[in-house]
Amino acid sequence: MTEFATRIRRATMAEHREAETRSFISRLMSGQVSYPGFAALTAQYLHIYRELEAAAASMRTDVIASGFADPALDRVPSLEADVAHLGSAAVQPLPATLRYVERLREHCHTSPAHFIAHHYVRYLGDLSGGLIVGRSVARTYGLGSGGVAFYSFAGIADPKAYKSAYRERLDLLPSVFSPAELDELVAESQLAFRLNAAVFAEMGDRHPAGMAAA
């Protein structure tokens, strides 16, 4: 084992922590974000995942990236259902969301290293903390199963085993990528976390702590 999965996890710890501790997410988890704020966040995710999953469709013919572009992970149908349920279809993408989407569009349709970096940041997070977030917001907003489909992976029976297999695929990358490509993948993963944190920051500006909580 090359332990590249460990390398990328350690290299992104600071960015990961920064994204997780953004006040908007902290307030969301403690029930201190208004319903419109949560609905607007879901709409931002839809824009991001539409572009990332369009890139995944392109990457399914790539020898290296195809192992990551698993349709069982697709979030767009769930997000479309959530946005419809939450009534946030008309919410426009924030500037930070547009920058995130543009980065995905520019690099992830043609570069396996860039695609895997963004894929790793989004989906491994969804299979970890995302499941916890889903349960929390369902309770906070009294949603039941409606409006939180994004946080549920019906096609993945054992998330823990899936994440383990995902990390094993990451550990194989040094056998197919050059050292420069591996460095690029790590750097892009760090950027992906920063792009994500920027969305949270703008969400916090648009839905500050002074607004009515859930």
Q: Which helix (H) or strand (E) holds 30?
A: none
Q: Which helix (H) or strand (E) holds 85?
A: helix 76-86
Residue where the block lists tokens 């953004």: 22
What rounded mean pLDDT belongs to the chain? 93
Minimum mean pLDDT range among 31-35, 45-49, 67-71, 132-136: 132-136
Question: For the segment 15-52, what is each residue's pLDDT rounded down to a tens digit?
Answer: 877 777 678 988 998 899 999 999 999 999 999 999 99
Domain residue ranges of the chain, discontinuous segments joined by + = 9-206
Whether the predicted pLDDT of 121 surpasses 80:
yes
- Which of 210 and 171 is assigned the larger pLDDT? 171
- The Cα–Cα gap between 177 and 201 comes to 34
Choose which CATH entry (1.10.287.70, 2.20.28.120, 3.40.605.10, 1.20.910.10) describes domain 9-206: 1.20.910.10
Please tell me the predicted confidence (pLDDT) of residue 213.
65
Question: For the segment 95-120, what is each residue's pLDDT rounded down to a tens digit?
Answer: 999 999 999 999 999 999 999 999 99
The single-letter DSSP state of residue 177 is S
Cβ atoms < 10 Å from Cβ of 125? 17
